[in-house]
Amino acid sequence: MSRVQRWESRTEIPLILLALAFLVAYAWPILDPGIDRTADDVLTVVSWTVWAAFALDFAVRVRLAEARRHYALTHWYDVALVALPMLRPLRLLRLLALARMLNRGFAGTLAGRVTASVVGAAVVAVGLGALAVLDAEQDRPDALITSFGDALWWAAVTVTTVGYGDLYPVTTTGRVVAVVLMAVGIAVVGSVTASIATWFVTAAEASRDDARSGATSDQP
């Protein structure tokens, strides 16, 4: 195990907790626009504290990497998220570490891995997509998505690629969120289809091998 991997294994849980704290700090003002000034200031401090923690984490990982330039280039998304604070909501993608942990926990079965990965990706995408689109839409007078319930419904319909069309974003930011959710939905559906096909092929080959073994053992 490399030094970077050892660092990541030690900091995975703290970073997940920080990402959850950031989720609260990001979501609270969106879900409660009438929040008082003191609470809003506290949440802003939490947000920037999490940003500093992730910036420090990335700096340490680059410092521990054997090929630092290569590591920074291959982790360009971390560079962007640290260098551009306006993208700080995307730092919640650290919550995908939860899906990786579940994936390791279910490593024994294909069905378990598929379930953990799909559920983790879908839940994160729907939740963050709903918050992001509500943040972009709720102050527009012509908006159709004005409550978290509407946003959650819209995000679920979009990520599953159903697309009823009863609700849709009218802002540019909201439409960008929609495009991202569509891409995630296509990837999830494709992954599920490929995994199910692989499972059927593997099961068929195992049954054929068992049948051949049984026929061989029955021969005198």
Write down the pLDDT at residue 97: 46
| Locus of tokens 């979009």 | 158
pTM of the model: 0.64
pLDDT in tens, 150-176: 999 999 888 887 878 889 999 888 888
Below-70 pLDDT ranges, the chain: 77, 80-81, 84-121, 192, 195, 209-220
d(CA 138, CA 156): 18
Complete domains list, the chain, with CATH: 1-93 (no CATH), 106-213 (1.10.287.70)
The count of other CB atoms within 10 Å of the CB of residue 143 is 19
Write down the pLDDT at residue 188: 74
Write down the pLDDT at residue 154: 92
d(CA 106, CA 214): 31
